Chain A
Amino acid sequence: DAGVIQSPRHEVTEMGQEVTLRCKPISGHNSLFWYRQTMMRGLELLIYFNNNVPIDDSGMPEDRFSAKMPNASFSTLKIQPSEPRDSAVYFCASSLTEHNEQFFGPGTRLTVL
């Protein structure tokens, strides 16, 4: 049974470049969550979707960040332009409903030089 799939696993880019992170949730799960983890701030929710609709994007740091979920099996998190302070591990998680336990992907480690 495949879990949450994220790509790429590692991304190194230069300041100002566009970065796109991808996520495939567990089949049958209706809610999808994007988190960011840093040593300083821990694990923070950026945005979540329910049935492909964004419900809460209050954690998105600024307009440089955007997320989409065009269908039930795919979501993207885009940063444009990227900055060094965006360096972190970005996790995608999915759950059966928005209230249930969430299952996390392996994460994308982003380094912005």
Chain B
Amino acid sequence: EDQVTQSPEALRLQEGESSSLNCSYTVSGLRGLFWYRQDPGKGPEFLFTLYSAGEEKEKERLKATLTKKESFLHITAPKPEDSATYLCAFNTGTASKLTFGTGTRLQVTL
């Protein structure tokens, strides 16, 4: 069965303390690997799509990378406003729907 597993479930960082979130996947025929950010009481906000191993995308303090088995969301020098739940999701060539992981709750403190 196609699935994604995110780790850790929760992560607490101090401001400026860089780290990475992991999304491991077992998917046949991966079409896209997506990263979203979700703030409490809001809908998920799209961050990145990755399509092939070796691909990288950046936005401000975030960088997403993809290998054949996992994706990482690297957070460089995080700020308190980066606190949120980060979700990864995938679709396949035969199934357009997104299947989401359970997310990583990130808290960045001063």
Contact = CB atoms under 8 A, between A and B. Distances in A.
Do these two chains interact? Answer: yes
Contacts, number: 50
Contacts of B31: 99
Contacts of B100: 42-44
Interface stretch (A70-78, A79-87, A102-110): A102-110
A106 B45 CA distance: 10
Size class of the contact patch on chain B: 20 to 34
Given A43-B100, A98-B96, 11 more contacts: A43-B87, A48-B97, A50-B96, A56-B95, A56-B96, A56-B97, A99-B31, A102-B46, A104-B36, A106-B43, A107-B43
A45 B98 contact: yes
Nearest to A9: B41
- Residue from B32, B46, B49, B101 whose CB has the most chain A CB atoms within 10 Å: B46
Interface in B32-82: 32, 34, 36, 42-46, 49
Contacts of A93: 43
A113 interface: no
Contacts of B109: none
Size class of the contact patch on chain A: 20 to 34
Contact of A104 (B45, B49, B102): B45
Nearest to A43: B100
Nearest to B102: A42
Contacts of A91: 43-44
A65 B98 CA distance: 20
B32 A104 contact: no
Contacts of B104: none
Q: Which 10 pairs, one residue from A and one from B, show the smallest C-beta to C-beta distance?
A: A104-B43, A98-B96, A43-B100, A45-B97, A101-B46, A104-B44, A42-B102, A107-B43, A101-B49, A91-B43
